[in-house]
Amino acid sequence: MTHGLKPSNRRRRTRAIAAAAAFAVAIPLTAGSPALADPNFPSTEGSTNISSIATYADLVAQLERLERTSRFGVDVTTLAEVGTEVSTSEQGRDLYVATVGDGPEAVWLQGRIHGNEPYGTESLLSVLKELGTNGSPDWSLLRETYTFHVIPMYNPDGSELNIRQTVLQDGSNQRIDLNRDWGDGKFVADESEAFYEYWTMVDPAFAIDIHHQGLKTEYGTGDDVTLSLGISLAPGGPTLPGIEGGAYDVLTRQMHVHVYDELAKYGNINMDRYQVGGSLEIDIKGGVVSAMMLGYDYKGLNPEGHSNPAIFFETSGNTSDGSLGQKARGKSIRQNVLALQEVLLGMATGEVQQEDPARWEEIPHAPVTGYQTDTGVTPLF
Ligand SMILES: [Zn+2]
């Protein structure tokens, strides 16, 4: 394990540990001792059992139960009820959003935009349950500071098919990656039009997106990575420093540094920076969270040019390559929940905004050789 970052504030760590301990009691985890767990938790031996993964019907049932039983007002709605012009998936499924909290700023939490990346759904349902039921000071602070818009299954059709994309129903059967479908000449799929319009209604202060990646090892050490921290427009890259006077270039790195610090104490979580092709920083504009940061205006729905910073998490292992690892399920979900909890609390308390963004360089990563853009690779040298 490589924990390159040092705790910068002892008092802060104590509070975070207390919060995590409270959390561990509140959420039932898998049997076994996390302290003794194999750090290499997703494995190539993990035959993926799709039947254990949350289905669309599971999602709807769990959302309705949370709405019924939550002390703190979880509201479950469909985009048809919200009244967006396009309001269902390509195959006609309702698109669900749950809201909770009374705070003045909106926060957008989305998962499973890639249908074969299942734990975004379960991680967000776990966070939603805490937001709806947990009366502790931390969760109360979150509800007072923010109104959360939680989208646990952005891509229900792909989820039911266990594929990354959605499938167009115009006769072409074309598969569309919904995370490349906000941008010029895009918005091909109904899901994109629907959630984009909803985003222009919400105008969130920031967004977090949950994904899976394949098995990955840390550059330099070869240790298995369990969680990669991503920003879809590379900090210091061709695009992000030019947005909002560089504010998102700073804040997204601060968010990563904070999550890294707070999760590095868990022995079975090993983090690095999300890169592609071994050594490329991602700088794609068609991703949903990229378009959010760019303040994309489609059909005149965002005339004021609202934009917001966004980061994403990539849990290692996915259903497509059979590497999900059934035994890792609880740990994979838990690390997402912890990461979400810590970044949300850090934003609410202002701890994130006080992090040193330059320490983003200390998060393990391969030496950067270039940028992966929408149209190809831009080499650094
Ligand atoms: Zn993904």
* Ligand 1 center to 96 CA (angstroms): 19
Does residue 212 or residue 85 have the better pLDDT?
85
Give the pLDDT band of residue 215 (cuts 50, 70, 90).
confident
| pLDDT above 80 (res 256) | yes
Residue 149 Ramachandran class (φ > 0 left, ψ -120 to 50 alpha, else beta): beta
What is the CA(212)–ligand 1 centre distance, in A?
A: 5
Q: Cβ atoms within 10 A of the Cβ of 159, count?
A: 28
Confidence of residue 46 (pLDDT cuts 50, 70, 90): very low
Lowest-confidence region among 47-56, 66-75, 128-137, 147-156:
47-56
- pLDDT for 321 equals 55
Average pLDDT over every residue of 145-170: 97
CA of 318 to the centre of ligand 1 (A): 9
273 alpha carbon – ligand 1 mean position (Å): 15
- Whether pTM > 0.75 for this model: the answer is yes
Question: What is the C-alpha to C-alpha distance for residues 240 and 173, in angstroms, rounded to an integer?
Answer: 35
Q: Is the pLDDT of residue 277 over 60?
A: yes
Please state which of the ranges 32-36, 92-96, 290-294 shows the lowest mean pLDDT.
32-36
Neighbours of 49 (CB within 10 A): 11
pLDDT for the residue numbered 214:
80
CA neighbor of 203 nearest in space, from 309, 84, 307, 97: 307
Distance in Å, CA 377 to ligand 1 centroid: 20
Percent of the chain past pLDDT 90, that is, above it, reads 75
**In the 8-state DSSP scheme, what is residue 113?**
S
Average pLDDT value for residue range 53-60: 94
Cα of 116 vs centre of ligand 1, distance in Å, is 8
Measured CA to CA, the distance from residue 131 to residue 348 in angstroms comes to 14
Q: How far is the CA of 122 from the centre of ligand 1 (A)?
A: 15
pLDDT recorded at residue 245: 97
3-class DSSP assignment, residue 116: coil
pLDDT at 327: 63
Helix (H, G, I), strand (E, B) or coil at 269: coil
pLDDT in tens, 222-249: 998 999 999 999 999 999 999 999 999 9
pLDDT digits (tens, 9 = 90+) for 21-38: 344 333 333 333 333 334
The C-alpha angle 290, 4, 362, rounded to 5 degrees, equals 40
Q: Is the pLDDT of residue 83 over 80?
A: yes
Nearest C-alpha neighbor of 109 from the set 340, 316, 284, 314: 340
For 148, the enclosing helix (H) or strand (E) is strand 146-151
Distance 118 CA to ligand 1 centre (A): 10
pLDDT confidence bin for 323, thresholds 50/70/90 = low
User: Which domains occur in the chain, in start order?
Assistant: 10-379 (3.40.630.10)
Residues near ligand 1 ion, CB 5 Å cutoff: 114, 117, 211
pLDDT at 200: 98
Tell me the CA end-to-end span of the chain in Å, nearest whole number.
31
CA distance 54 to 95: 15
- Average pLDDT of the chain? 87
The candidate with the shortest Cα–Cα distance to 189, out of 203, 173, 201, is 173
Q: Can you tell me the mean pLDDT for 319-332? A: 66
Point out which residues pair with 108 in neighbouring strands: 149, 207
Structure tokens at 91: 């195959």
Q: How far is the CA of 213 from the centre of ligand 1 (A)?
A: 7
Q: In which band, very low, low, confident or very high, does the pLDDT at 101 lie, cut at 50, 70 and 90?
A: very high
Ligand 1 centroid distance, CA of 50 (Å): 17
- 37 phi, psi to nearest 5 deg: -65, 150
d(CA 136, ligand 1 centre) in Å: 32
